[in-house]
Amino acid sequence: MTTSLPRRPGVSVRGRVTELRDGRMLEHEDRLAVEEPLEIRLAAPALAAQRLSVTMRTPGHDFELAAGWLVHEGICAPDTIRTVRYCTDADLTPEQEFNVVTVELAAPPLRLPAARMVSSACGVCGAESVSEALEGHTTDVEVSIARNLVHELPERLRAQQRGFDRTGGLHAAGLFEADGTTVVVREDVGRHNAVDKVVGSRILASAPVPPVLVLSGRIGFELVQKATVSGVSVLVAVGAPTSLAVRLGREAGLTVIGFTRPDRCVVYAGAERLID
């Protein structure tokens, strides 16, 4: 007798839907974006593995998500991450397979917050204050970007959104060089998760984080925080920023651009980085 290996969850699943169109009810198959919990555990010298967070996310690039989240939360420095692996404890339930990740550090954590639940709409809920979210972080003032390139970035991001093409239910984040070169794009049901994933990909590759971050949706303050902690200088989004995102962006020296279209964009902070 043989048993099949557990199948890793994917980005989307099939489902039957009823669509109302032109006064008719049409039944057909559709695809839904997957949202499942990811438990992040942390181990370090003299510290047994313990749960820090359970975040709702779209499966895929889970190691990057965990690494990016830990660095963005100020729990560890990028160069102290030793290994990231799926938990293989014998007592895991089938629902926990590939939904529990353990990050092992080579040094003690910078801080150890209490374990908590993070929704797919929440980013830095663990920060004790707004000021704490940006403390000690600034952006590179030498970075500049061409005005005409800014208008093209959302479409370059959109061209990489394969999960959105299938489901219509995923956000995307992409890291770009100042000349518009695409470095990495990731998708997730949560905006903040997508950012954690793209930055985490650079952390695990021991590579620098490019200066431009492009988002498929709006800009909340938690995304400004993640961008600034990661060393991003220019944040470009299809949607609008919040008032707090703009204020924090200005304080951090971040260029914040919203409502980005081929013929229009609105610069809320850092317009001096835009060049002809």
Could you give the residue numbers annotated as active site?
122
Measure the CA–CA gap between 242 and 74, rounded to whole angstroms.
23
Longest CA–CA separation in the chain, Å: 68
Location of structure tokens 């990489």: 160
14: Cβ–Cβ under 8 A, 6 or more apart, which residues?
29, 30, 31, 32
Contact 145, 84 (CB under 8 A): no
**Distance in angstroms between the alpha carbons of the first and the last residue of the chain:** 68
Contact 70, 76 (CB under 8 A): yes
| CA dihedral sign, ordered 172, 154, 253, 181 | positive
Location of structure tokens 């793209």: 198
Structure tokens at 226: 């993640």
In angstroms, the Cα distances linking 117 to 6, 102, 114, 238 are 25, 16, 10, 28
* Bridge partner residues of 234 (DSSP): 212, 255
| CA dihedral sign, ordered 167, 170, 176, 179 | positive
